[in-house]
Amino acid sequence: MTTFQPIFVSQDGRIRAGWRLLMQLVLTVLIYIPLSLAVSQFGGQNLQIIAFGAAVTLAVWLAGIAFDKRPMRDFGLRMDSRWWRDCLIGFLLATLVMSLIVLVQWVMGWIEFTGFGWNRASQRNFVAVLGGYVLTMAAVGFYEELWSRGYQLRNLTEGFYNGTNRNLAGLIAIVISSLAFGFLHIGNPNITLLGIIVIILAGAMLALPFVVTGQLGLSVGLHFAWNVIQGAFYGLPVSGIRFRQSVLQFEVTGPEMWTGGRFGPEGGILGVTGVLLLMLLTLALLRYRGHRITISEELVRPPSSPTTYD
């Protein structure tokens, strides 16, 4: 073994976790550039988002094979019937919480109903535009969870694990990955300090089911519904981005401190409350299923070991 080899290679013969994270990021950029150029011929922000999601997914797959020595299922994608059931449950939970946020604003007189999306004057087909947005939000919910939780959080946990205290390693990983998740949204329109804090908190909330079960089904469902119900159904800004042809059309008129204003619920106190409520509901669901609220062994299990969905 050379002097510098331990810096790059761990005792199990794989490239160390930090370098794996860096190389997966480089792969994402290298794959996205040609995809972006290709879809730019057709125009549209939605296509660029879907292209980036494809780049992330392909980069995780390639990094898993080349660097992690893991199949995709080890990054939270053991997509059996239970995975999809968890995804649906997550979707329903986030739909409930977002609807409560809208209801509170309605009762307080902080939002005004202005009509339906299909009544807006537009040359584009309403169903086609709405379907395109829903597909885009599905891609965002999937690839952000695969990247931020499935790949980054797993590798961070593994990197900080010293063989004895995986809970400490997992907590450090949650903090770092959630901060990175918040940082990725800094360039969003109408961003505020509170908005960044809420997104960081949302990152921790979305990490919770993954670190406990080792699977992404619940996280993907929560993420997808939070975005699509907020944007496509109620027409509220999603992290500063407004979709103008939502099913219901609402205009926010209440105090920005509570509603988040042009950034959407994530920028206000109601957003903080909603994320915390989702965290409590997720904890209750996991406890009801008999899970210990601890960092799963799945996140630090070597690639050669058999895996279970505990």
Q: Is the per-residue pLDDT at 305 higher than 60?
A: no
Same domain, 158 and 33: no
Place 121 in a pLDDT band, splitting at 50, 70 and 90: low
Mean pLDDT of 271-291: 96
Q: Is the per-residue pLDDT at 43 higher than 90?
A: no
Indicate yes or no: pTM above 0.75.
yes
Mean pLDDT of 15-40: 94
Per the domain annotation, does 4 fall within a domain? no
Tens digits of residue pLDDT in 91-105: 999 999 999 999 999
Same domain, 30 and 116: no
**CB atoms closer than 10 angstroms to residue 8:** 11
User: Which residues have C-beta within 8 Å of that of residue 277, sequence separation ≥ 6?
Assistant: 97, 100
6: part of which helix (H) or strand (E)? Answer: helix 5-8
Same domain, 53 and 193: no
Burial of 203 (0-12, 13-18, 19+ CB in 10 A): buried
Q: Is the per-residue pLDDT at 161 higher than 50?
A: yes
Tens digits of residue pLDDT in 58-80: 999 999 999 999 999 999 999 99
Same domain, 98 and 242: yes
Mean pLDDT of 10-15: 81
Same domain, 56 and 94: no
Domain that holds residue 96: 78-300
Give the chain's domain count. Answer: 2
Place 3 in a pLDDT band, splitting at 50, 70 and 90: low
Tell me the C-alpha distance between 303 and 131, whole Å: 39
